[in-house]
A = this chain, B = another copy of it.
Amino acid sequence: MTSAFARLPDPPYYAVIFSSQRTPGDQGYGATAERMVELAQQQPGFLGMESTRGADGFGITVAYFRDEASIAAWKANAEHRQAQRMGHTTWYEHFELRVARVERAYGGPPR
């Protein structure tokens, strides 16, 4: 299987931490979420993403970008904006979005 972990360059780079509580039912969410992953990968400056959601509908997605300009361009992407509107009206009970500059990183376990 494809690893769920993003392969990223050395810091610094940016993280968009998006936590969300889904409303019940799919309502087109799954297909759009897949399309957004595909679309994000075409966004210049996009570095990778990690995402998971529990059975309670609470999820965290972290998308990594080279810089703030890439984040702004992704946010303004027309197809992504349409998805954002659906998120607001239909898919999310609530979300929090935090933009952060990654300063250091390491992986493990040490073997």
**Residues of A that sit less than 8 Å from B by CB:** 4-6, 11, 15, 17, 19, 21, 50-56, 58-60, 62, 87-89, 92, 94-110
Q: List 11 A-B contacts (CB under 8 A).
A: A4-B21, A17-B102, A50-B60, A52-B53, A52-B54, A54-B54, A87-B108, A98-B102, A99-B102, A99-B103, A100-B101
Nearest opposing residue in chain B for A61, CB measure: B60
With a cutoff of 8 Å between Cβ atoms, the chain B residues found around residue A87 in the complex are 108-109
- Shortest CB–CB separation between residue A84 and chain B, in angstroms? 9
Which one of B59, B89, B100 contacts A52 once the chains associate, using CB atoms below 8 Å?
B59
The closest CB in chain B to the CB of A90 belongs to B109
